[in-house]
A = this chain, B = another copy of it.
Amino acid sequence: MPASERPPAPERIPAAERREQILAAASRVFGEHGYAGATTDQVAQAAGISQPYVVRMFGSKENLFLEVLQRALHRLLDAFRVTLADGADEDAATLGQRLGEAYADLITDRGILLSLMQAFLLGNDPAIGAAARSGMLEVYRLLREEAGLSAESTVDFLAHGMLFNTLVAMRMPDDLERGDAAATELLQCSFRSKLDLVLGAMSRGAE
């Protein structure tokens, strides 16, 4: 039989590397559609593999989401810690601004902040809700104890982060092109210097 009749052999990749590919793909898919709205087949297609492989590697869809959540939290905490190490002994105001920039930088991988946000809305799910609460508190403690922000500053910081996530999740920047005055003002005042970064990341993400 001629070789052309046989389908090309699938690319074989070490499990650890494949795992990270799947997690990255799952972050995007879960971030866009939410936990319940996303399917393991969408994740598989985004990662370029078959659906059963996704399920087998992570055991279950819920488990996959939990690992996506842990990965997102880890990236977020890492980004903050790098920022803290970079500029020690700053005053609270500049530190807050630089943390905000580090946070906004995470948007270059849209999946991270969006799947985090999706997890936050799943408080009713026993496993996911517990992990989400624990993660939020971990972030809070980092800002309070390691960064040394006051309770008020920390809450302010978190609040603007949640608005940031929400505006990105609802694809509000898409309205910018429609020239809506309120949308323009809201986005400019929310994102400030990070507006260009966000716009770039979102138009790239649309493909």
Chain A interface residues toward B at CB < 8 A: 32-37, 114, 117-118, 120-124, 129, 132-133, 136-137, 140-141, 144, 151-152, 154-156, 158-160, 162-163, 165-166, 169-172, 174-175, 180, 182-183, 185-186, 189-190
Contact = CB atoms under 8 A, between A and B. Distances in A.
B36 A185 contact: no
A87 to B, nearest CB: 24
B170 A132 contact: yes
Contacts of A124: 32-33, 171
A9 to B, nearest CB: 35
A12 B166 CA distance: 41
Q: Report how many copies the assembly holds.
A: 2
A117 B170 CA distance: 10
A140 B171 contact: no
A36 B162 CA distance: 22
Nearest to A160: B159
Contacts of A37: 34-37
A175 B133 contact: yes
24 contacts: A34-B34, A34-B35, A34-B121, A35-B37, A117-B121, A118-B121, A121-B121, A123-B171, A123-B172, A133-B170, A133-B175, A133-B183, A137-B175, A137-B186, A140-B182, A140-B186, A144-B185, A154-B186, A155-B160, A159-B159, A159-B162, A159-B163, A159-B190, A162-B166
